[in-house]
Chain A
Amino acid sequence: DAGITQSPRHKVTETGTPVTLRCHQTENHRYMYWYRQDPGHGLRLIHYSYGVKDTDKGEVSDGYSVSRSKTEDFLLTLESATSSQTSVYFCAISERVGTATDGYTFGSGTRLTVV
């Protein structure tokens, strides 16, 4: 693997509680992404980061926030979890210069269930 880990791997939480998912990379890549994967929808971008403290929204950002205080860590927070946020969450990393066409490297995913 390219040195990207997600934690936790599985989590069950109750509606209305806050949840934070962590993505950690050891590749020193500039770009980091959070996707969610749902049946019939493929992967949809939630938020992404193009540097420390630089983040932007993706197509399904409502109900989610992110932070990146260090190059290696990208946190995804559900401020108040809802059942519609039950999903598998994937983190990905990429580097632009010289490898702009290499696509992404993905983590193994976090399966989140909101009950």
Chain B
Amino acid sequence: GNSVTQMEGPVTLSEEAFLTINCTYTATGYPSLFWYVQYPGEGLQLLLKATKADDKGSNKGFEATYRKETTSFHLEKGSVQVSDSAVYFCALLHVVYSGAGSYQLTFGKGTKLSVIP
């Protein structure tokens, strides 16, 4: 089946530190991959995405590269800020062949990031 595994948190970093949040996946076919971010008290927001192997998604200084050979989509940022404190979710998008042909997102469990000044 389809599944996503993220590194467990919480992760605490000092401002301007380098961030890596690991994400690996199991899927049939070639799913699209996403990172979502959830700020305290809010819903999830799309951070970045990649739709095929070797694609690099980027947004707000965050990057992730779709690695088919290692089935990974690690999130990185060169210099984190206090405002990056949030929960980050890795997810894969796959087709559900239930007669509806709908797309569904399967999420990892989330990694909480705290950035201290």
Contacts and interface: CB of A to CB of B under 8 A. Distances in A.
Interface of A: 31, 33, 40-43, 45, 48, 50-51, 54, 56, 90, 92, 94, 96, 100-109
A42 B93 CA distance: 16
B110 A42 contact: yes
Contacts, number: 62
A103 B34 contact: yes
Q: Interface residues of B: mostly helix, strand, loop or mixed?
A: strand
B108 A42 contact: yes
A43 B43 contact: no
A87 B93 CA distance: 24
B91 A103 contact: yes
B70 interface: no
Given A90-B43, A103-B34, A50 B89 contact: no
Interface of B: 32, 34, 36, 42-46, 49, 51, 89, 91, 93, 96, 98, 100-105, 107-110
Contact of A101 (B32, B45, B108, B110): B32
Contacts of A48: 102, 104
Given A101-B51, A109-B43, A56 B100 contact: yes
Nearest to B90: A42
Contacts of B89: 42-43
B102 A103 contact: no
Contact of B103 (A51, A100, A107, A109): A100
A103 B100 contact: no
A106 B102 contact: no
Nearest to B43: A106
A96 B91 CA distance: 17
A3 B81 CA distance: 29
A42 B105 CA distance: 12
A45 to B, nearest CB: 7
A105 B49 CA distance: 13
17 contacts: A41-B109, A42-B89, A42-B108, A45-B104, A48-B102, A51-B100, A56-B96, A90-B43, A92-B105, A96-B103, A101-B32, A103-B93, A105-B46, A106-B36, A106-B43, A106-B44, A106-B45
